[in-house]
Amino acid sequence: MGRDLIYRGEGVGDMLLRRAFERTLAVAKLIGVAFLVVDAKHGKASWYEARGFTLAGDPDRLVLPVKSIA
């Protein structure tokens, strides 16, 4: 998931993340899914942390429990 720098600050990243949440929830209805896992670009983990993800060992790997996706 990524966006061009010209769209920085316009909410495109949040829109893409919401779409990923929608797809994850759709798949979770079909199979067991416990977490959404993200391998963030180096140095960008804080963006995901601000959206509820928590670090999972590796400094660039984050997780979010599927049950917390609204």
Q: Indicate the residue type of 19.
A: R
pTM of the predicted structure, to 2 decimals = 0.84
Q: Report d(CA 37, CA 6) in Å as an integer.
A: 26
Q: Which domains are assigned to the chain?
A: 5-68 (3.40.630.30)
pLDDT tens per residue across span 7-56: 888 989 999 999 999 999 999 999 999 999 999 998 899 999 999 999 99
CA dihedral 40, 43, 49, 55 (to 10 degrees): 70
pLDDT, residue 15, reads: 94
CB 22 within 8 A of CB 35: no
pLDDT tens per residue across span 11-22: 899 999 999 999
